[in-house]
Amino acid sequence: MLSESQRAKAVESLLESHRTKVQGVRPSEMFPDIEIADSYAISSAVAEAKVTQGQKIIGHKIGLTSKAMQASSKINEPDYGYLFDDLVLSDGAKVPFESFCVPRVEPELTFILKEPLKGPGVGLIDVMRATEWVVPSIEIIDARVTEPRKIFDTVADNGAAAGIVLGGRPVRPEDVDLRWVGAIFYRNSEIEETGLAAGVLGHPAMAIAWLANKLGPFGTQLEPGHLMLSGSFTRPVWANKGDTLHADFGPLGGVAVQFV
In a domain, 33, yes or no: no
Tell me the Cα Rg of the chain.
17
For the full predicted model, state whether its pTM sits above 0.85: yes
Comparing 104 with 66, which gets the higher pLDDT?
A: 104
Q: Measured between alpha carbons, how far is 53 from 173 in angstroms, rounded to an integer?
A: 35
Cβ count near 181 (within 10 Å): 23
In a domain, 176, yes or no: yes
Q: Measured between alpha carbons, how far is 35 from 19 in angstroms, rounded to an integer?
A: 26
In a domain, 25, yes or no: no
In a domain, 20, yes or no: no
Does residue 110 contact residue 173 with C-beta atoms inside 8 Å? no
Q: What is the mean pLDDT of the chain?
A: 95
Asked whether residue 69 carries a pLDDT value surpassing 70, the answer given is: no
State what percent of residues in the chain have pLDDT above 70. Answer: 96
Expressed in angstroms, the distance from the first to the final Cα of the chain is 42
Q: Measured between alpha carbons, how far is 127 from 125 in angstroms, rounded to an integer?
A: 5
Per the structure, the complete domain to which residue 234 belongs is given by 58-259
In a domain, 64, yes or no: yes
In a domain, 24, yes or no: no
pLDDT score recorded for residue 77: 80
Kindly report, residue by residue over 11-65, the tens digit of the pLDDT.
999 999 999 999 999 999 999 999 999 999 999 999 999 999 999 999 999 998 8
Number of domains the chain contains: 1
Residues 6+ apart with CB under 8 A from 105: 138, 139, 140, 141, 185, 236, 237, 239, 245, 257
State what percent of residues in the chain have pLDDT above 90. Answer: 93
In a domain, 42, yes or no: no
In a domain, 41, yes or no: no
pLDDT score recorded for residue 209: 98
pLDDT score recorded for residue 242: 98
Asked whether residue 71 carries a pLDDT value surpassing 80, the answer given is: no
Residue 72: pLDDT band with limits 50, 70, 90? low
CATH number at residue 117: 3.90.850.10
